[in-house]
Amino acid sequence: MKVYLAAQVLSNSVANALEYCHAKVKDWENKDVTGTVKFLRIIDMLFDRMNSKNPFGKYLKSPLSVFNKEEIFKDFAIAEAYILSLGTREPTLEAANGEPQVKKMRTDSLIINGPRKQGFIGFLVNMATYKKMFELYIQTGYLKYLLTYKTSQDHVEHLFCAIRGSLGKNNNPSTREFTTSLKKILLGATHHSEFSNCVIQDDTAVVPLPANLEEAFVIKDLESNDEEEYWSKEYMDSLSTLSEYKSDVLVYIAGKVET
């Protein structure tokens, strides 16, 4: 499971991209993206509210305290009502001639009652838990604020990853192996995998610095490759012919610059 990829998909950036495509991309005018955009924004808001790490965080990533209780609980109420209203239905299949197939449709049902309910019920349980934790710890004065990331399961996953790494990626350790590995972790002798949380995005290779004159000539020959010069020229030419889409993407990435 690639959690970081799921977090990138269920984000405001994807919602903004869908709204942009609906407004400016050809053949997207008749596509209804409002439901998907609303879903992405609410889930992204919940991710931020439940992953506050900095006591001085602002906006959606601020810690739960008496100062922003009303704001956070209001967001929770909106998200809870939205999740409880989500429903599922069978897709309408089309025959070869473009007409709908004759198929017995199942009655629409709430998603919290369907086979894929675990994630949505998890959000509901987490919101109810944070409300109760506020009453028990913050409202009574035991804590000044609550960093919601501290209650996530990431810490347990990191512990299990360190245990597996110290045992050579062994998922079924014996009692003695598990105890020994846990003792080493408690003493600070953790084992970090070389490829933990790293995924190769492309086949780009970094050319090392030349150690002698011969290697310098080899690198010079590589740099003067005709194919490299062709693609470099193509890239430079494309910069002067930016499409409206590329221009809008650059403005979105760069952000608003005030002079």
Is the residue at 37 inside a domain?
yes
Phi, psi of 26 (to 5 degrees): -65, 145
Amino acid at 158: H
Q: Are residues 178 and 75 in the same domain?
A: no
In a domain? residue 259:
no
In a domain, 230, yes or no: yes
Please indicate, yes or no, whether residues 39 and 138 belong to a single structural domain of this protein.
Answer: yes
Burial of 203 (0-12, 13-18, 19+ CB in 10 A): exposed
Alpha carbon distance 28, 34 (integer Å) = 12
Total structural domains in the chain?
3
Q: Spell out the per-residue pLDDT of the chain, length 259, in tens.
A: 566 677 788 888 899 989 988 888 877 878 888 999 999 999 999 989 998 888 888 888 899 999 999 999 999 999 999 999 988 766 555 555 555 554 444 555 888 888 888 889 999 999 999 999 999 999 998 989 999 988 888 778 777 877 877 777 677 888 888 888 888 777 765 555 554 444 444 454 444 444 455 555 555 555 555 666 666 666 666 666 667 777 777 777 776 555 4
Same domain? For 121 and 195 the reply is no
Euclidean distance between CA atoms 223 and 65, whole angstroms: 58
Residues 71 and 13 in one domain: yes
Q: Are residues 32 and 112 in the same domain?
A: yes
Residues 134 and 10 placed together within one structural domain of the fold: yes
Give how far Cα 108 sits from Cα of 86, 87, 105, 114, 201, Å: 10, 6, 9, 10, 40
Range of the domain at 180: 160-199
